[in-house]
Structure 1
Amino acid sequence: MYLIITPACKRSNGYKLSLNGGKDSCFNLIQCASQRNDIVALANVCPPNGLDEMDSQMFQTVGHEIVELLAEAMELPLYRKVSTALALSSEIFYNPTEGDEVEDLFHLLSEVKRQHPEIEGVSVGAVLSTYQKNRVENVCTRLKLVPLAFLWQKNETDLLNEMLLSGLNAVVIKVAALGLNPSHLGMTLKELQPHLLEMVLINYI
């Protein structure tokens, strides 16, 4: 999901905040909001009707059904774009490719910018994925937007502790990584903290 923000009265630049609904994107939103930016809209790249999830190199779509509820709770307009989930360009540095899923993001944010011309940036929850970060930056450059990636390459242990101290209440709804299994589903980030720290020590995450 993407969160669109403009600055509060004490800021001179407007920003668009990017959020996919995951804990990293949500926490990046908190960082942006702490710098006195106002969120004005949400945008979400989603799978076609009837699909719970799509196999995407770029977008987290598991749990996309609750996006409308998030927008309602935040009292913000929601913009959505169905994605092909096709990664036609697999190079680290992306070149615009018709039909690639990155173009779905480009068209989505183009529409949001048309509706909200005051926005000037996109918040990116990327921590370690150069692949994803480069693609968001490519879209931002084409739309003359500034990418905001406050979590980029932060120490995993420090980031986990900061998330918990902030009160972020994230719940595991999918496992797809070494060291995690179905028994972890439904657990909160706080409950998983000891296990996650152990995984960091043995370089699983």
Structure 2
Amino acid sequence: MRLASLFSGGKDSAFSLYLAEQRGHEVPYLVNVVPDDRASWLFHTPNLGCVPAMAEAMGKELVIGHSSGEEGSDMEGLRKALEGLDVDGVVSGAVWSDYQWDRMNIVCGDLGLKFIAPMWRKDQDMMLDQLIDAGIEAVIVGCYAEGLDESWLGRPIDRAAAEDLKKLRAKYGISVMGEGGEYESMALYSPLYSRRLKIASAEKEWHHGSGMLKVSKLV
């Protein structure tokens, strides 16, 4: 099929896009909805200004939608971004959130598009291992759970990090994929990129046990 990727720049959207193309689908578009409210429940919000560099590295057309961050506006922003695209369906990096699953299915259903989520309800340890095996190179850019201290900001999600996340899960009950909002990530490379991206400019913000790496430039 011909698909659009719901692409936030994080590891899950990068991996789901890779899986879709590995299964023979054509994915010419990246769709990125930018909420005004960082607390949007439907969309990833950190460092969305870096998504154009990722689209360029993959040679894909970037379609940007906008939302206030409220539920209705999120859904309408997605609908408007998808309307008129020459696609049969949408691929998403959704893993476990019923909220995201339901609302994205509603929008796709309204537009007559198939909704494809290759990571949905899969074992999270397996997904994290397969993501690393596939060559997705991502770093953590947001920490919002006990056990994830400031040292995690900018840390690559590699084998060592995966093992440490599993240890934190045993102690604190976190999701190793960050599905409970424990952390956010940025994919600096996947096999679909023409080159590895590097963080050229960034600033750490840390307050009261949580924070983010604000990336202002990729090269």
2:165 matched residue in structure 1: 196
1:186 corresponding residue in structure 2: 154
Structure 1 residue 200 displacement after superposition: 3.4
2:199 is aligned to none
Is 1:66 paired with 2:18? no
Three-state SS of the structure 1 residue aligned to 2:120 is coil
Task: Give percent identity, aligned residues only.
Answer: 30
Alpha-carbon displacement from aligned partner over 1:18-40 (angstroms, at most 9, x marks no partner): 22221111111111010112221
Q: Which residue of 1 aligns with 2:11?
A: 23
Q: Please state whether the residue corresponding to 1:142 is helix, strand or coil.
A: helix
1:36-115 alignment, distance < 5 Å:
36-48=24-36, 54-87=38-71, 99-110=72-83, 114=84
Taking the aligned partners of 1:136 and 1:165, their CA distance within structure 2 comes to: 28
Shift of 1:195: 1.2
| Contact 2:3–2:25 (CA under 8 A) maintained in structure 1 | yes
Amino acid at match of 2:12: D
Hey, what's the Cα distance between the residues in 1 that align with 2:92 and 2:61? 19
Give the count of matched residue pairs.
173
**In the superposition, relative to structure 1, how do residues 75 and 14 fare at CA in structure 2: closer, same or farther (>3 Å)?**
closer
Query: Would the aligned equivalents of 2:137 and 2:157 in 1 still touch at CA under 8 Å?
Result: yes
Normalization by structure 2: what TM-score? 0.73
CA contact (8 A) 1:71 1:78 kept: yes
1:100 CA drift (Å): 3.0
Question: What is the aligned-residue RMSD (CA, Å)?
Answer: 1.7
- CA 1:178–1:120 in structure 2 vs 1: closer, same or farther (change >3 Å)? farther
CA distance in structure 2 between the aligned counterparts of 1:153 and 1:177, rounded to whole angstroms: 22
Aligned mates of 1:204, 1:75 — CA distance in 2: 35
Q: Deviations over 1:151-199 (max 9, x none)?
A: 1111111111111111110100111234322221010111411211113
Shift in CA distance, 158/196, structure 1 to aligned 2, threshold 3 Å: same
Q: Tell me which residue corresponds to 1:166.
A: 134
Aligned residue type for 2:82: L
Superposed CA offset, 1:104-147 (max 9, x none): 1111111xxx1x32x11111111110001111101110011111
C-alpha separation in 1, matches of 2:97 and 2:168: 18
AA in 1 matched with 2:144? A
Structure 1: gaps (5+ residues): 1-12, 88-98
Structure 1: distance between partners of 2:102 and 2:146: 25
Partner SS for 1:32: helix
> Whole-Å Cα distance in 2 between the matches of residues 105 and 39 of structure 1?
17
Query: Alignment partner of 1:189: what SS?
Result: coil
Stretches of structure 2 that go unaligned for 5 or more consecutive residues are 176-219
> Secondary structure, in 3 states, of the residue corresponding to 2:29?
strand
* Aligned residue number for residue 95 of structure 1: none
Counterparts of 1:104 and 1:16 in 2: how far apart (Å)?
15
> Secondary structure in 2 aligned to 1:81?
strand
